[in-house]
Amino acid sequence: MTKDLLSIADLTRQEVDALLARAAELKVMLRRGARHQPLVGKTLGMIFAKPSTRTRVSFEVAMVQLGGAAIFLSTQDLQLGRGETIADTARVLSGYLDGIMIRTFAQADVEELARWASVPVINGLTDLTHPCQILADLLTITEHRGGYEQVKVAYVGDGNNVCHSWLLAAGLLGFELAVACPAGYRPDPRIVERARALAAPGAPRITLTEDPFEAVKDAGVIYTDTWASMGQEREHEARVQVFRPYQVNRSLVEAARGDALVMHCLPAHRGEEITDEVMDGPRSVVFPQAENRLHLQKAVLERLLGGR
């Protein structure tokens, strides 16, 4: 594995499979109460330029469980917020920390941080990608379906960071992905192109459509995310109007396979991209999905900070 985890496309399929297998082992070990502390004495810095519940708490708990410590660093409090450069911040923090997790706006800023940091850098979400989320989601799918290869994933909604990481994952790992987005809210064509370029010849198709019913046909996973991501709050009302036909509700779920899982990276905007009935219904795995962030990220931290 490279020093950093900046995008799913940085990994090989073998590395993804190893992380998923290790995360499953770590989950069993935790359930059994086994002590496993390979990161004693190690510290992860967690830089946040945007809010977070799952990413912040799961990374911090992951470090505690692995025997290390985590420090929450808001960009509002760091000198970074007053103009200290990313390159200088990276070199200073590398003298204290054993790893840096960052959630920010520009993917280029995460890449810049990784370039100057001598310690591993982990992308905890940018406007472009959210790799830890999709890796954890693949763990959830694997737990429920025994693997991800034969599963068709239907991503319904905004062509955003989460959608981009799904595209890259589908290309890298070779599962079928159908993305349904309204016109004007499609994923970045460069990411679509990259995902298709990653795909092996003969791999299942990556398709884009405006029709959510077409996307969910034969799907084993229906996945959605907020219609207005962090930083797009002012577009919220306009987006709700455009995205209404893309709501994951009972009729959309009924158009998928009878055993389709419903997934959402959370936070959910109940009544917008997903109804209460579906989110709290029998097909929903959203809470086990959120828990898996912890287990998957422990595997990532063990690998990048522990050299395992």
CA atoms 250, 288, 271, 228: torsion sign = negative
Length of the chain: 308
Residue 161 binding: pick among ligand CP, ligand NVA, none (C-beta 5-8 Å cut-off by kind):
ligand NVA
Closest CA to 76 of 113, 104, 43: 104
133 tagged catalytic: yes
Known active-site residue 283: no
Of 97, 123, 105, 84, whose CA–CA distance to 39 is shortest? 97
**Does 225 sit near ligand NVA (CB under 6 A)?**
yes
What region, left, alpha or beta, does residue 174 occupy, with left being phi > 0 and alpha being psi -120 to 50 degrees?
left
- 209 part of the interface to ligand CP, by CB under 6 A: no
Pairing of strands 121-123, 99-103: parallel
Tell me the residue nearest to ligand NVA as measured from the CB.
229
Considering only residues 42 through 71, tell me which ones interact with ligand CP, judged by CB under 6 A. 52-55
Helices (H), the chain: 13-32, 54-65, 86-94, 107-116, 131-145, 161-173, 189-198, 212-216, 236-243, 250-254, 276-279, 286-306
The 241-280 site mask, x for binding ligand NVA (CB under 6 A), equals: ------------------------x---------------
Binding segment toward ligand NVA, per CB under 6 A, in 29-37, 115-123, 154-162, 277-285 = 154-162
Angle, to 10 degrees, between the axis of helix 131-145 and the axis of helix 286-306?
Answer: 120
Catalytic-role residue among 54, 65, 98, 133: 133
From ligand NVA, ligand CP, none, interface partner of 60 (C-beta below 5 to 8 A by class)? none
What x/- string results for residues 93 through 132 when contact with ligand CP is judged by CB under 6 A?
A: --------------------------------x-------
Alpha helices in 76-160 (DSSP H): 86-94, 107-116, 131-145
CB nearer to ligand CP: give 42 or 54.
54
Residue 155: both structure tokens together: 């991503």
Q: Is 205 a catalytic residue?
A: no
- Catalytic residue status for 293: yes
- Comparing C-alpha atoms, which of 140, 143, 203 is closest to residue 175? 203
Tell whether residue 128 is a contact of ligand NVA (CB under 6 A).
no
Positions in the binding site for ligand NVA (CB under 6 A): 125, 160-162, 225-226, 229-230, 265
Positions in the binding site for ligand CP (CB under 6 A): 52-55, 125, 133, 265-267
Catalytic residues: 103, 130, 133, 225, 265, 293
